[in-house]
Structure 1
Amino acid sequence: MSEPASIATGIAGRYASAVFDLAREENQMDALERDVDTLQQALAESGDLRDLIHSPIYSREQQQAAIGAVADKAGLSATMGNVLRLMASKRRLFVLPQMLTALRARIADEKGEITADVTTARPLSSEQSERLGRTLAEKLGHEVKINSAVDESLIGGLVVKVGSRMIDTSIRTKLAQLQNTMKEAR
C-alpha cells in the first residue's frame, strides 16, 4: 500500500472507531447502519458530493456548510452529521469512502455477519438475492450480507467474493477457459 493511501486508511479508521464507539454507547447501531447505507448510496450517485469531498477549491467553511446540508437533507443521525462537519473543519472529508468501508466492516463484525460481494450480468431479484444469502450462510456458518453489483460483460452467471475466496461461474470466464483449452489442443 502506498504511503498516502495508508495515511488515509489510518485517518479513516480513527474516525470510524470514534463514530462506531459513540453509536454503540448511545445504542444507535441501527441508525449508524442506515447512515452508512445512505452515505454510500449518495457517494455512488452524486458526482457533486464526490467533488465536494475531494476538491481543494472549497474552503473549510464551504465544505462544512455543504456537508451539513447534505447530512440534514439525508436525515443522518446527529452523531454522523457532527462527525462529518468535524471532518470538513479538519479538511478530512477525502477519507469519507474509506471511513464508510471501515464502519461497514465494524458493523458486520458486531452483528456476526460476513459480507459477500456478488457481481452478476443482470440485477438479482429479491428472491434470488435471499436464496443466495441463505445458501452462503449455510456454507459459511454465518449470516451473510450481500453487496450486489452488475457487470454486463459477464454475459451470465455470477462472481461471488467472500473475504479472500472467489467463486466465478460467469459465462465470460467459462468462455475464456474454453478458449485457452482450445489453444492448448492445437
Structure 2
Amino acid sequence: MDEGLIARRYAKAVFRYAQELNAADAVYEKMKLFEKNYIAHPDLQKALLNPLLSPEDKEMLLSTAIGIEPGEAYIKGIRLLIRNHREMYVRSICLMFQKIYRAANGIIRVKIITAMELSDETMDKIKEFVRRHTDKTIEFVHKVDPSIIGGFILQIGSRQLDASLMKELKEMSLQFGFLDYK
C-alpha cells in the first residue's frame, strides 16, 4: 500500500478523534514536538522497526518521544498504529497530521533558510513582510543551513523563493559550462 495513502488515512483518523475530544490544538503541538525529536534522534526509527521490541515498549518509546505528557488522543493514536503494525509510518503520519491541521485552521507555514542565524530584528522584518501579504495565520520556522553559503531560501506553503548564493553559483557554473560543479 502507498505510504502517502496510509499516512493520510491514519492522520485523518487521529485528527477527527482529536477534534471530538477538543484536543486537536494540543495534539498538533505534540506532533510538532515529536517531529523535532524524531529528527534529533535517528535511533528512534531503528528502535520502532525492531521486531524484538514489544508493543508496550514501542508505545512507551513513542509516548516519551515528545518529551511532555502525551494525553489521551495522542496515546490512542499511537496504540492504533502499533496494533495495525504501522509504526514505520509514524513520521509520515505525524507530518500529514500537521498538514491536515494547518489546512483546517487556515495556517500557512513559512520556512526561512539562511546560512547563519538571523538577528531578531531581521526576523521581525521578514515576518512583518509575510504578514502584510496574507490573511492567514502564519507559523514561522527558521533553519540554518551553511551549505547555501549566503542569501536565503523562503518557502511559503508550496512556493519557494531561492535567493541563495549556492543557487547563483550553480546557475553561473551551468552558464559557463562547468557541469560538474556541486
Q: TM-score range by the shorter chain?
A: 0.7 to 0.9
1:78 — aligned with what?
Answer: 72
Is 1:101 aligned with 2:95?
Answer: yes
2:160 — aligned with what?
Answer: 166
Query: Do 2:21 and 2:73's aligned partners in 1 also have CA atoms closer than 8 Å?
Result: no
Query: Do 2:148 and 2:166's aligned partners in 1 also have CA atoms closer than 8 Å?
Result: yes
1:175 — aligned with what?
Answer: 169
- Structure 2 CA distance for aligned equivalents of residues 42 and 85 of structure 1: 19
Query: Do 1:23 and 1:32's aligned partners in 2 also have CA atoms closer than 8 Å?
Result: yes
User: What is the DSSP-based 3-state SS (H/G/I as helix, E as strand, rest coil) of the residue aligned with 2:109?
Assistant: strand
Matched residue pairs, number?
A: 178
Unmatched tracts of structure 1, length 5 or more: none
List per-residue Cα deviations over 1:101-124 (Å, max 9, x = no partner).
111112211221111232111133
Higher mean Cα deviation, 27-36 or 55-64?
55-64
Task: State the one-letter code of the partner of 2:37.
Answer: A
Measured after TM superposition, the shift of residue 16 of structure 1 is 0.9
Please, what TM-score do these two structures have when normalized by structure 1? 0.80
Change in 2 beyond 3 A, CA 1:73/1:169: closer
Percent identity (aligned)? 23
Higher mean Cα deviation, 12-21 or 161-170?
161-170
- Structure 2 CA distance for aligned equivalents of residues 182 and 127 of structure 1: 38
User: What is the DSSP-based 3-state SS (H/G/I as helix, E as strand, rest coil) of the residue aligned with 1:91?
Assistant: coil
The structure richer in helix per residue is 1
Is 1:64 aligned with 2:54?
Answer: no
Measured after TM superposition, the shift of residue 136 of structure 1 is 1.6
2:36 — aligned with what?
Answer: 41
1:116 — aligned with what?
Answer: 110
User: What is the DSSP-based 3-state SS (H/G/I as helix, E as strand, rest coil) of the residue aligned with 2:133?
Assistant: helix
Change in 2 beyond 3 A, CA 1:79/1:127: farther
Please, what TM-score do these two structures have when normalized by structure 2? 0.82
Change in 2 beyond 3 A, CA 1:183/1:62: closer
2:4 — aligned with what?
Answer: 9
User: What is the DSSP-based 3-state SS (H/G/I as helix, E as strand, rest coil) of the residue aligned with 1:119?
Assistant: strand
List per-residue Cα deviations over 1:127-168 (Å, max 9, x = no partner).
433432221222244232223222101112110122442211
